[in-house]
Amino acid sequence: MTENTQDGPSAVPDATKPQTRGKGPDMTGDPIGKLLIMLAVPAGIGFFFMIAYNLVDTIWANQYPEPGEAANMTGAALGRSFGPFFLMQAFSIGLMQGTTALVSNALGARKGDQARHIIAQAMVAGVIVGVTLLTFAMFLPVPGREGSFIELYYFTLSSGNAEATRLGMAYILPILWLAPFLIVISVFNAILSAKGDFTTFGIVQVAAFFINLILDPILVFGGTPFNLYGLSVNLPDFLPELGVAGLAWATVFTQMLGALVVMVVALRTGIFKGLKITEFIPFWPLLSQVIGQGVPAAVNMLLIAGGFISIQFFVPEIVKQTGSLLLETMNPADAAEAAINGYMNAARIEQLLLLPVIGLELALISIVGNNLGARKEERIWRVYRLGLITAVIMTITATIIQFAGHQLFPSWINRSDETLAVSSQVLSISAFLLTAYALIFINSGTLQGMKRPLFAMLINGVRLVVGPAVVFLIVSIFAPGNLLVFWLGYGAVAWGCGLFAMWYTPPRMKRVMAREIGTPAA
């Protein structure tokens, strides 16, 4: 794995080749502020509805079989499913971000033929990864025991709880069959991102949200009466009650529909004009670039998923230790389910408030990538500084909102006292971590756009896996059962990573531009 690329300072844009660019923003000429608004706003809207989509799933999971403590196991099963679901998305998003960076550079340098060839190679990589992931999760036998690796995951994380394992498997199996298709379709998303089109993504996510809003209760409850916004609803008896599996089938339907729309729009950009079947033959010089960019980006997303999985292991273990407040009213097994459900409910709310920064990060990858390819150093510095200032202002505002609503917001999802206590505690502390996350995202996105994705992978490994593991060990020894101390330690790790990102990134940017653009490093 290397950060080196074939294009260097000596590369000369081929003026004889047409620029592969449709209608849209001029990534190398339009004012930086205008570009950030044009790209980040639709991306942020798209991600808002993507997270709101997941929040709707979470709300309905907390209503089945009935609201309150009875739904904790269903909600916890959905929470545990976030790990494998995000693992699947990690490969999809990693391939998309890596392809976006490479295609953006090629388009910025006016190399339309190279951009098209990169896309073909990325699709080849997507097919290989998707089939491999599905095979590993569902069909490879686990050495020394019966069942698949995905079943072992749920069994282990739920401490052998058979019902929790069954609920988790009911949700994840339909989605796993979708994995190869979504990973390949992410390349079409990369095409639109590289060309500055985040509007299509936003429209698709808005439509998916409203379709899911209708499908979820229908597929979960079927003909069983349920309450919707205070009204009693009784659907026709012929509709089957699918329970948590209904949430999965709603996701399969909406995601496939959205993916087809993205594919059609990408095909209409004209970037595939002149495509030859031979360009799908694995070509190592380009395939290695796709792998070199996509693997670190995918590993970065895997680490984010691993962070959620590790927290889902640490939190139940802490609340089952002597000294835990939850043990005063619940047995250890129920306390673990309440803690997992409470943590994931809080995480959904936190993600909503971080969405504007995620939109900025995606915009930075495209803008920086295009301008690095066009060798416009000053524009790269300007978008980096403006993105950083904007992200800090946004997260300070989000901190106020989250802290003010740390008790109110989770009560809209679950009314179990123990679950609410966990959610409220998480939100009250993580509100002050949002700015640290912004520093990490903006610096990581800038380096990703400069074809340097390893930084995000390494810093997220510390922030999400190594750091929390160390904090868990410290809490278990010196403050067993104390979730508050765990969250404070988690926050200290996040701020340490954010400040390190600010220290590391600007000098790294100077060195990259000295190599790619040929300007002297300061």
Written as six digits, the tokens of 15 are 């003026």
Q: Is 229 helix (H, G, I), strand (E, B) or coil?
A: coil
Q: Look at residues 449, 453, 454, 513 and name the one whose alpha carbon lies nearest to residue 108.
A: 449
Model pLDDT, residue 228: 62
Location of structure tokens 């995951």 = 153
**Contact status, residue 512 vs residue 446, Cβ threshold 8 Å:** no
114 within a domain of the structure (yes/no) = no
Can you tell me the distance from the alpha carbon of 189 to that of 202, in angstroms, rounded to the nearest whole number?
Answer: 11
Helices (H), 109-227: 112-138, 149-157, 162-176, 179-194, 199-221
Q: What is the 3-state secondary structure (H, E, C) of 246-260?
A: HHHHHHHHHHHHHHH
Hey, what amino acid is at 211?
A: I
Euclidean distance between CA atoms 148 and 138, whole angstroms: 5
DSSP state of 519: P
Residue 198 domain-assigned?
no
Helix (H) or strand (E) holding 74, with range, is: helix 72-108
Residue 395 belongs to what domain range? 15-54+290-522
Domain-embedded: residue 44: yes
Query: Of 308, 328, 198, which is closest to residue 262 (Cα–Cα)?
Result: 198
Is residue 319 in some structural domain?
A: yes
Which residue is associated with the tokens 């500084």? 385
Residue pair 40/445 in contact (Cβ under 8 Å)? The answer is no
Q: How far is residue 199's CA from residue 67's CA, in Å, rounded to a whole number?
A: 37
Query: What pLDDT score does 366 carry?
Result: 81
**Given the structure tokens 């206590």, which residue do they identify?**
421
Amino acid occupying residue 1: M
Cα–Cα distance, 226 to 222 (Å, whole number): 9
239-284 pLDDT per residue, tens: 788 888 888 899 888 988 888 898 888 888 878 888 788 887 877 7
The structure tokens listed for 78 are 């959905």
Segments of the chain scoring below 50 in pLDDT: 1-22, 520-522
Q: Report how far residue 87's alpha carbon sits from residue 91's, in angstroms, rounded to the nearest whole number.
A: 7
Question: Residue 394 corresponds to which amino acid?
Answer: M
Domain total of the chain? 1
Helices (H), 320-433: 332-373, 377-404, 408-411, 417-430
Residue 405 forms part of a structural domain: yes
Q: Is residue 153 part of a domain?
A: no
Single out the residue of 307, 329, 345 nearest to residue 468, CA to CA. Answer: 307
Asked if the structure places residue 130 within a domain, the reply is no
Q: What is the pLDDT of residue 67?
A: 58
Residues 6 or more apart whose Cβ sits within 8 Å of residue 32: 367, 379, 382, 383, 386
Pair 244, 170: CB distance under 8 Å: yes
| Cβ–Cβ under 8 Å, residues 91 and 304 | no
**Which tokens belong to 54?**
């997941």
Cα(219)–Cα(297) distance, integer angstroms = 35
* Side-chain half-sphere CA neighbours of 102 within 13 A: 33
Phi, psi at 228, each rounded to 5°: -130, 110
Cα–Cα–Cα angle for 148, 250, 335, nearest 5°? Answer: 60
Judge contact between 159 and 316, C-beta under 8 A. yes
Contact assessment for residue 41 and residue 305, using Cβ atoms and an 8 Å cutoff: no
Question: Does the pTM exceed 0.85?
Answer: no
Residue type, 358: I
Question: Using CA atoms, how far apart are residues 448 and 6, in angstroms rounded to an integer?
Answer: 17
Here the tokens at position 57 are: 């799933």
Whether residue 320 is contained in a domain is answered as yes
In this structure, are residues 7 and 514 in contact, taking their beta carbons and an 8 Å threshold? no
The phi, psi pair for 283, rounded to 5°, reads -125, 100
Phi, psi of 163, deg, nearest 5: -70, -40
